[in-house]
Amino acid sequence: MSLQRVNPSPDIVRLRNEGYEVEIRGAHLLISHVPFVNSAQKIEIGTLVSTLALAGNVIAKPDTHVVHFTGPHPCHKDGSIMSQIQHNSQTQTLADGIVVNHTFSNKPTNGYPDYYEKMHRYVEIISAPAESLDPTMTAKTFQVIEAKPEDSVFNYLDTNSSRAEIEVISEKLKSHRIGIVGLGGTGSYVLDLVAKTPVDEIHLFDADVFCQHNAFRAPGAPTVEQLRMPAAKVDYLAEIYSRMHRRVFPNAVALSAKNVQLLHGLDFVFICMDQGRAKREIVALLETSSASFVDVGIGVQVGEDNLLGIVRVTSSTPRKRDHFPKCVSFNDAKDDAYSTNIQIADLNMLNAALAVIKWKKLCGFYQDMEHEHDSTYTINENQLLSDQTPS
């Protein structure tokens, strides 16, 4: 089921968000899976059809209170016909693939202000007897609404944004080409969050395979069979998130001076790796290309009988870069405080969330009053600090 070329108006989006099986075919609005009682006092499923008043491809106010119906005439619980909405019964073809059997009339004093009020009211009237006989019967089925490739980067519509009425704000993330370098614990959670946004492309870079220890610090849960035949991290994760986002591109390579140009043209990069020498090359390229990026890090140590440490997110933008060498180490992991390489899924997830929140701030998705370019969370003090604001 998919929305066609006519642009859905807010009232029709509301029908969809409330779980109705909404479809637009040409100049007709259909709601499928409408339960009703037939003359034998049995529950059946029908389809409501309304003509659409259009101004170009924009939906206007309903120009008629009449609707069409596909199926037997709805009845009350006792099997008597619903005479209060009875209008005309005649099988006819309204358009290709749209065959109706009846028309109904239920006219409010001032007509219907929009298609939500019109269709919702007819569903209420027709379905009430069926819902009385069986409370589980409903027209609000919340069926998956697929999206066409030319309409969305998602395989199915982002009804979460439309339900929250933040589609305009979410559009600020569109047309972005994102890179994630390092798909270990933090990088995989970054992917999990970014794949839920309408960015144009997501490019993954990591040469390692997805091993058993990775399963304990990444989102999801691989099967034993998958771990027995390990794939490259980027391939394993791309297969998962391509189920949702159409444009996830895996690159099973370790970035270095030889191939760092693969990042050229990306709008934003998440650096989620420990290799300092390669990181230096990446940072140099991104600064030259005027791109913005964040570097993430987790430093965890063993105390007497517990763990303590710091989670860090450092961003670099054309507006401010001078702080970066002071906050980020370019030594390889074995040469610095990260040598223990202790990673815990919740800290990886927090690190990724803070990094993605910062990226969204830079895009204008979230309000940003501090414009910090370095933030740290200290575990044992439960302290989140912001630093390095532009002068």
How far is residue 118 from each of residues 53, 85, 106, measured CA to CA in Å?
13, 13, 9
Least confident of 48-52, 157-161, 185-189, 368-372: 157-161
Q: How many domains are there within the chain? A: 2
Say if residue 221 is in the same domain as residue 296.
yes
My answer on whether 35 and 129 are in the same domain is yes
pLDDT score of 130: 97
Claim to verify: residue 98 and residue 188 sit in the same structural domain: no
Q: What is the pLDDT of residues 338-351, one digit of tens each?
A: 445 788 999 999 99
What is the per-residue pLDDT for 157?
87
Q: Check whether 6 has a pLDDT greater than 80.
A: no
Same domain for 176 and 87: no
- Terminal CA-CA length for the chain: 52
Task: Say yes or no: 344 and 227 in one domain.
Answer: yes
| 172 CB burial (10 A radius; 0-12, 13-18, 19+) | middle
Range of the domain at 106: 10-133
**Does residue 100 form part of some domain?**
yes
Considering the domain architecture, whether residues 50 and 127 belong to the same structural domain is answered as: yes
Across 49-63, 192-206, 337-351, 356-370, least confident range? 337-351
Mean pLDDT value across residues 349-355: 97
Q: Whole-angstrom Cα distance, residue 21 to residue 108?
A: 24
- Where a domain ends, among 116, 133, 150? 133
Amino acid at 340: T
Same domain, 241 and 339: yes
- The reply to whether 341 falls in a domain is yes
Span 270-277, average pLDDT: 89
CB of 233 closer than 8 Å to CB of 222: no
The answer as to whether 1 is a domain residue is: no
pLDDT tens per residue, range 186-215: 999 999 999 999 999 999 999 999 999 999
Final residue before a domain boundary, out of 92, 118, 133: 133
Residue 263 in any domain: the answer is yes
Distance CA 33, CA 308 (A): 55
CATH number, domain with residue 214: 3.40.50.720
Please report whether residue 47 resides in a domain: yes
Question: Range with the lowest mean pLDDT among 5-19, 220-234, 341-355?
Answer: 5-19
Query: Cα dist. 254→240, 260, 289, 296, 341 in Å?
Result: 21, 9, 20, 17, 19
Alpha-carbon gap, residue 137 to 43, rounded angstroms: 9
Q: Three-state secondary structure along 241-277? A: HCCCECCEEEECCCCCCCCHHHHCCCCEEEECCCCHH
- Residue 381's nearest CA partner among 308, 312, 306 is 308
Greater model confidence, 274 or 332: 274
pLDDT at 339: 46
Residue 147 domain-assigned (yes or no): no
Residues 353, 295 within the same domain: yes
Query: Percent of the chain beyond pLDDT 90?
Result: 79
| Residue 1 binned pLDDT confidence (cut-offs 50, 70, 90) | very low
For the record, the structure tokens of 317 come out as 């933008």
Query: Are 119 and 190 found together in one domain?
Result: no
Is residue 226 within a helix (H) or strand (E), and if so which, with residue range?
Answer: helix 224-228
Confidence of residue 108 (pLDDT cuts 50, 70, 90): very high
Both structure tokens of 128: 């009430």
Q: Where are the beta strands (DSSP E) in the chain?
A: 21-25, 28-37, 43-51, 54-55, 58-59, 66-70, 86-95, 98-105, 177-181, 201-205, 248-251, 268-271, 292-302, 307-316, 374-378, 383-387
Task: Using alpha carbons only, give the angle 158, 163, 166 rounded to the nearest 5 degrees.
Answer: 80
Q: Span 326-354, mean pLDDT? A: 79
Inside any domain, residue 41: yes
